[in-house]
C-alpha cells in the first residue's frame, strides 16, 4: 500500500490517499477536492474513511459524492468498535477513540503497521477536548486503549507531522497521565 499525504485547506488538514494497484481509499478529504483528485488520478476510489466529522476533515467529501453517489463513506455512524473491514485489497480495524470529538475513530491497518488517527493524536500532543462533543475523560480512556498496540505503528495524524506510537508512548506528556 502506498500512502500519499495532501495538506488541505486553511487549517492545513492532512488528507491521505491510500493506493494499491489501480484502486485507492481516501482518508479525511478536508478541502481542495481538485488537488486530491489530481493525486487519485485514474485510480478507482473504493471508499472514503472519515476519522471524525469536523468541517476541516470532510469539506471536500461532497466533491467525491457528487461524482459517485454510490461511493461508500466509512465513519463512526456506520462502523463498530473493533470491526474489521476489507475493501478491495485494503484491510483495517476500526478503533473507537473519542475525546477530541464523540465520533472520533482510528483506522488501523495491521499488516502495514499504520494508523490513521485524525485529531485524536498528534506528535507529542493530542486533539483539543474543549470543542463541542469533546471530552477529557473519554480522551484518557482512548489513550489507555491505544497503549495496548505495538510501538512500531506509524501514526498518520489529521494535522502536522507523522509519528510512531512507541515515540509517543515515551515523549507525549498525555500518555504519562494515563499509564
How does residue 177 score in pLDDT terms, banded at 50, 70 and 90? confident
State yes or no: pLDDT of 68 exceeds 90: no
Say how far residue 37 (Cα) sits from the centre of its chain.
Answer: 18
| Complete domains list, the chain, with CATH | 2-176 (3.60.15.10)
Alpha-carbon distance of 31 to 8, in angstroms, equals 5
State yes or no: pLDDT of 72 exceeds 90: yes
pLDDT tens digits along 3-54: 999 999 999 999 999 999 999 999 999 999 999 999 999 999 999 999 999 9
State yes or no: pLDDT of 179 exceeds 80: no
pLDDT tens digits along 133-165: 999 999 999 999 999 999 999 999 999 999 999
Task: Write down the pLDDT at residue 161.
Answer: 97
How does residue 86 score in pLDDT terms, banded at 50, 70 and 90? very high
State yes or no: pLDDT of 100 exceeds 80: yes
Question: Cα–Cα distances in Å, from 75 out to 51, 53, 83, 123?
Answer: 7, 8, 12, 23
Task: Write down the pLDDT at residue 119.
Answer: 97
How does residue 66 score in pLDDT terms, banded at 50, 70 and 90? confident
Task: Write down the pLDDT at residue 170.
Answer: 96
- Can you tell me the mean pLDDT for 63-73? 89
Alpha-carbon distance of 30 to 80, in angstroms, equals 23
Amino acid at each position: 500500500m502506498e500512502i500519499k499525504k495532501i495538506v488541505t485547506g486553511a487549517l492545513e488538514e492532512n488528507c491521505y490517499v491510500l493506493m494499491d494497484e489501480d484502486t485507492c481509499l481516501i482518508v479525511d478529504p478536508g478541502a481542495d477536492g481538485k488537488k486530491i483528485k489530481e493525486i487519485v488520478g485514474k485510480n478507482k476510489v473504493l471508499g472514503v474513511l472519515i476519522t471524525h466529522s469536523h468541517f476541516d476533515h470532510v469539506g471536500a467529501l461532497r466533491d467525491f459524492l457528487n461524482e459517485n453517489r454510490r461511493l461508500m463513506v466509512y465513519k463512526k455512524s456506520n462502523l463498530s468498535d473493533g470491526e474489521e473491514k476489507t475493501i478491495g485489497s485494503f484491510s483495517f480495524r476500526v478503533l473507537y477513540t473519542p475525546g477530541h470529538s464523540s465520533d472520533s475513530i482510528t483506522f488501523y491497518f495491521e499488516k502495514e503497521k499504520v494508523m490513521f488517527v485524525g485529531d485524536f493524536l498528534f506528535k507529542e500532543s493530542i486533539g483539543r477536548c474543549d470543542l463541542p462533543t469533546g471530552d477529557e475523560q473519554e480522551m484518557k480512556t482512548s489513550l489507555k486503549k491505544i497503549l495496548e498496540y505495538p510501538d512500531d505503528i506509524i501514526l498518520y495524524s489529521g494535522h502536522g507531522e507523522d509519528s510512531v506510537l512507541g515515540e509517543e508512548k515515551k515523549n507525549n506528556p498525555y500518555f504519562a497521565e494515563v499509564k
